[in-house]
Every structure is written in structure tokens, then in C-alpha cells.
Structure 1
């Protein structure tokens, strides 16, 4: 069994006016992420929306001093970007929404348990940012014993060099599959 994990594909990370946007590179993958969600659902696979959740000016969160406030609970910045929000609403009873408070979707969540109880051994990662949250989720998935597939045409980042570095790291240092369409 396999699962698709859509990481941080929200207004704050993708929209032109998002609080911490990767902009056009993130917007360019919207269609492919939508295709993959529909494909995984059609095959009866598990789909997870792993969405960053922050409290404004949380003095105890390690990202507070690193980035401007983003994905603040209760704001439209946490809504999924574009048509992905529409797809989520259409399949809300089937797609699992999961708040996360760290880069990795595994850290401080029950994601590993959710996957294991469903017999899932292979995870497919899409979303933003390739060299931050996708990277940390991939590494923790690797250390939790899951086979990890990164969809190169469905991940994006702020910096092209960070994006390229992460794709190489997935493949060359971690032995993960980096899949092109």
C-alpha cells in the first residue's frame, strides 16, 4: 500500500501575496499535485494534507525568529492553494487533514501510526518546500522504514539551488526514488 503526502501547499507558501511564498515555482506545480491526488484517490490509496500550523509570535517555537509569521491558525494563509482547496473540499471525507508544527510531517504527529495501521509501506511526497519541509519529512520517513518517492514535477522551493540540492540528496545520499512524470 502507498500514501500521498501533500506538504504545506497553502496560500502562505504558494500564493503571490503569501506570507512566506515560494511564488511561481510553487504555483507551477498546482496542476500536477491535483492530478496526483485524484490518481491516488482513484486507486484507493491514502492521501494526507500535512499543513503547517503556527500561533502568532509563539516564543517557544524554533521558527519564530527565522521566518515572518506564516500559516497562523485561523487565517486564510492556512487554506490550501488554488484548486487544491477545491479538491480537498470535494473529497474532505476521504482526504486526511493533519496539522504539523515542525518541518517534518512526522515530528510530533501520529503520521507514522496512521500509515502503519493502514499497511502503508511506501510514501509519495509532493508540495513545498523541497529543501525544507519535504526534505525533513522524507528523511524522517526514511528513518521510520518507509520507502520514499519524491515527485520532482510536484515539489518546489524558494531557491532553485536548494531545490536541486535536495533532489540530488534524496536520490544520492538517501537512495530514494525521484520520479519524473
Structure 2
């Protein structure tokens, strides 16, 4: 039986989660790690896809809009871009699985400027489960694009974290009220 479901683990890196990360969610981001790894294990066990769209940048890129907004972060081949803590171990243990792969992205949305939509459609995936950081930035923009591309969206509220509790709360409401997403534990 072919699976039509994928888990997207968005931007769960040191720069976004670790205490010394350049744009860290801090404790809120760290607290969701067991939930993310448990979901990833379940998806692999069920034969579903686990895709890790991961932000990548060049420092002080004059052509990238985030350069004006944020300090350098998720620079290729740096500690900041490595997966955070247990997810790093999980990925290293599972990266040779046929349905697990890391995916470079350079914008908030995992779809912007990538061939993710084509890859998902080739695999007949129609439902995306979203976890990662930040709820109100990259997870949100990925969800909006997924909605516009007509995917079913499931957001695991215990698997996402924002820079602020208010931002997370707003985004979770937006997922339900505006995108018709299922928000679950």
C-alpha cells in the first residue's frame, strides 16, 4: 500500500533551538524535541515519508530579504545549521532510509524556490504533517503554501514552537480558522 502522507520537520536546527542559537526559540523549542522524534519514529515505522526542510544561508547575503531582518543564521557547514541535539542523532540513524531526507530551503516556506511540490506529487502525497520552528514564521509560511497547493494539513501543536507564546497561539488559530488545517496534539 502506498503512503500518501509526509511529516515535515521544519528548521529544527541549533540556530533556531539551542540556547546559543542565533534566532533561538529557547526552552519552548527544546521542549518539543521528544514529540518530534516520536512522530518521526512513527512515520518511519509506518512507511511514511519524513522530510526535513532546512533553512540555509550565506552570511550577509545582500540579495536575501532576511539579511535586513535577522542576524546571520543557518549558515551552511556551521554548528548553527546542524540539527538540534536528539534530532541530529535521529537523522544520522535514519538518513539512509528510502523515505527520509533533508531538504535545503532558502525562504520561510519549504515550497518557495524549491521542487518540493513536484517531489510530493510524484510520490502521491496529499497530506502534510507539520512540526518544527518557528510556528509563526517558517511553519506558517509552509502551511500557507501547502494550503494554496491544495494539500491536507495537520499541525502537531506539541511539535511546534514560536519565538513567543503569543506568536504560536496566533499561528495555531490561523492554521485552523484560515487554512482549515487540523491542529492536533
Category of TM-score, reference length = shorter chain = over 0.9
Query: What is the aligned partner in structure 2 of residue 90 from structure 1?
Result: 93
How large is the RMSD of aligned CA atoms in angstroms? 0.6
Deviation at 1:96, TM superposition (A): 1.0
State the distance in 2 between where 1:119 and 1:36 align.
21
Higher deviation after alignment, 86-95 or 133-142: 86-95
Identify the match of residue 176 of structure 2 among 161, 167, 171.
171
How many equivalent pairs are there?
180
Deviation at 1:50, TM superposition (A): 0.6
State the distance in 2 between where 1:19 and 1:132 align.
15
State the distance in 2 between where 1:141 and 1:93 align.
26
State the distance in 2 between where 1:170 and 1:144 align.
15
Identify the match of residue 12 of structure 1 among 6, 15, 28.
15
Query: What is the aligned partner in structure 1 of residue 104 from structure 2?
Result: 99
Q: Match of 1:9, SS?
A: coil
**Alignment partner of 1:51 is 2:57:** no
Q: Match of 1:99, SS?
A: strand
Query: What is the aligned partner in structure 1 of residue 68 from structure 2?
Result: 65
- Stretches of structure 1 that go unaligned for 5 or more consecutive residues are none
Q: What is the TM-score with the length of structure 1 in the denominator?
A: 0.98
Identify the match of residue 143 of structure 1 among 145, 148, 161.
148
Q: What is the TM-score with the length of structure 2 in the denominator?
A: 0.96
State the distance in 1 between where 2:104 and 2:139 align.
15
